Amino acid sequence: MSGSNTHIKKSKLKQEQLHDTFISLIKENERIIYKICNLYADTQANRGDLYQEIIVQAWKGYPKFRGDAKFSTWLYQVALNTAISGFAKEKKSPLVHSIDGYLPDVIYDNAGNEEAETVATLYAAINQLNDIEKALVMLYLDGRSYEEMEKIMGTSNGALRVKMTRIKDKLKTIAKNN
Amino acid sequence: MKEMWNRADQITTAGYNVTELIYRDSKSPLAAIEKNLKTALFIFPFVVVLFAGQFLSNSHQSPTRMLLFAILFIEFLFSLLNYGLVKKMQQPGGNIRENLLTRVSLLQKLCGMYVYVQLGLYALMAVLLEISMYFQWDSNFNGWAKINPGIRIGVYIVFLVVQLLIKKASQKKLYGRYLDQLNNLALQLE
């Protein structure tokens, strides 16, 4: 009886440790989730839903995280898989810098109007890319190496470089048109 | 652009409570399907208890009842399999390509198997019905046995075709858009 109590206590302690480590790792890397939510969800409400979904999925998958890759790499994978191929509710049309000047309502608490507009324009430009291109451009702008991008995307280094060149050309065209 | 991106990174905030969020349920439609399948699994044990009670009270069971029980059991196994597949499909780990291809393959397996296993079950039911009528195991089928065999087979075929169309339409409604979305993403990865 006391053996089973010790076992329960140990597993409870292990669960608490797992929980605390997870929370602190998420807090350290939460910017990754914010950025993915801003890129893949169009409204404040949808961003909240996506954020929650990513956290739920990450928590579910965390016991399987073996630590052979960086936590941030693993979190990029989980968050992108949830945002891109998760069974989401019907997506609205992608956010683009449309004729009526509609811009994504990214939260920019610490910014002035002009800066906020610039950030929204940046997101609007990236949002004209497809889902996979958006992921690549985000990883590139986040300063991830091609080796890490390869691990996250599962695409070869060479193919990634070709894709990035195409994306840069696309973004240049978008910037010119705007 | 990198400069703008870094600036955006610094000024965007959200302020969600992670500690509270991790204990919430997933809101994804796949999670809803998983929940429905799980509920369906709980129904079968009640059927077993019901049949066991009837079997104990009367050891001579009619072939119709046995047939019905067998079909319910196969449906239960099938729901169990579907539940496992839907659960597997929600795994968020692995690289994007691997995860995407796994989801596509599981979904195709689920859709294909669902339709054809169901049809196989109905076809088996028709064959067992014919055998049961041939050996006159159940007097309840005497009326149906008197009908011309050609007409009977025709009815079975029409029934199977209608089932095939209904099942395919319902699968397309349930998973079609998602499968298209995944295939489109796989194309984007090429």
Reported as a single tens digit per residue, the pLDDT across A3-16 is 667 667 767 777 78
> Would the pLDDT of A115 be above 80?
no
Every domain of chain B and the residues it spans: 44-189
Higher pLDDT, B105 or A91: B105
Residues in chain B with CB shorter than 8 Å from the CB of A64 are: 93
Burial class (CB in 10 A: 0-12, 13-18, 19+), A95: buried
Q: Verify whether the Cβ–Cβ distance B189 to A34 is below 8 Å.
A: no
The Cα A66–Cα A136 span in angstroms is 25
The Cα A5–Cα B156 span in angstroms is 60
pLDDT classification of A88: cutoffs 50, 70, 90: low
Arithmetic mean of pLDDT, B16-25 = 78
Higher pLDDT, B100 or B136: B100
Higher pLDDT, A25 or A8: A25
Task: Please give the residue of chain A at the shortest CA–CA distance from B27.
Answer: A53
Question: Residue B111's closest CA among B38, B172, B39?
Answer: B172
User: How close B163 gets to chain A, by Cα (Å)?
Assistant: 27
The residue of B86, B96, B184, B185 whose CB has the most chain A CBs within 10 angstroms, and thus the best one to mutate to test that interface, is B96
Residues in chain B with CB shorter than 8 Å from the CB of A60 are: 26, 92
Query: What is the H or E stretch that residue A117 is in?
Result: helix A113-126
Judge contact between B118 and B167, C-beta under 8 A: yes
A104: tokens are 């994504």
Every domain of chain A and the residues it spans: 30-177
Q: Which of A82-86, A115-119, B8-12 has the lowest mean pLDDT?
A: B8-12
> Would the pLDDT of B45 be above 90?
no
> Would the pLDDT of A92 be above 70?
no
> Would the pLDDT of B156 be above 80?
yes
The Cα A40–Cα A4 span in angstroms is 47
> Would the pLDDT of A101 be above 50?
no
The answer for residues whose C-beta is within 8 angstroms of residue B44's C-beta and 6 or more apart is B72, B73, B76, B79
The Cα B63–Cα B69 span in angstroms is 10
A54: tokens are 């990513």
In this prediction, residue A165 carries a pLDDT of 92
Residues in chain A with CB shorter than 8 Å from the CB of B185 are: 84-85, 131-132
In this prediction, residue B142 carries a pLDDT of 81
Judge contact between B25 and B31, C-beta under 8 A: yes
Arithmetic mean of pLDDT, A34-59 = 87
Judge contact between A59 and B78, C-beta under 8 A: no
Dihedral sign of CA atoms A130, A115, A28, A58 in order? negative
In this prediction, residue A4 carries a pLDDT of 64
Interior angle at CA A23, CA A22 and CA A25, nearest 5:
65
Reported as a single tens digit per residue, the pLDDT across B52-77 is 777 777 766 677 777 777 778 877 87
Q: Is the ipTM of this complex over 0.85?
A: no
In this prediction, residue A125 carries a pLDDT of 83
Q: How many of the other CB atoms lie within 10 Å of CB of B90?
A: 21
The Cα A46–Cα B65 span in angstroms is 50
The Cα A61–Cα A73 span in angstroms is 14
| Cα separation values, A129 from A32, B75, B84, B100, B190, Å | 19, 44, 35, 19, 15
User: How close A106 gets to chain B, by Cα (Å)?
Assistant: 7
Q: According to DSSP H, which parts of chain B are helical?
A: 2-11, 18-21, 29-57, 63-89, 96-134, 142-145, 149-171, 177-189
pLDDT classification of B155: cutoffs 50, 70, 90: very high
Judge contact between B38 and B83, C-beta under 8 A: yes
Question: Residue A131's closest CA among A89, A174, A171, A83?
Answer: A83
pLDDT classification of A106: cutoffs 50, 70, 90: very low
Arithmetic mean of pLDDT, B105-113 = 82
Residues in chain B with CB shorter than 8 Å from the CB of A155 are: 96-97, 189
Q: Verify whether the Cβ–Cβ distance A132 to B11 is below 8 Å.
A: no
Asked if A68 has any chain B CB less than 8 Å from its own CB, the reply is no
Give the count of Cβ contacts less than 8 A between chain A and B. Answer: 149
pTM: 0.77
Question: Residue A129's closest CA among A95, A103, A101?
Answer: A95
Cβ under 8 Å to B: A residues 115-154 = 115-116, 118-119, 122-123, 130-133, 135, 141-143, 151-154
Buried b (16+ CB within 10 A) or exposed e, A17-44: eeeeebeebbeebbebbbbbbbbbbbee
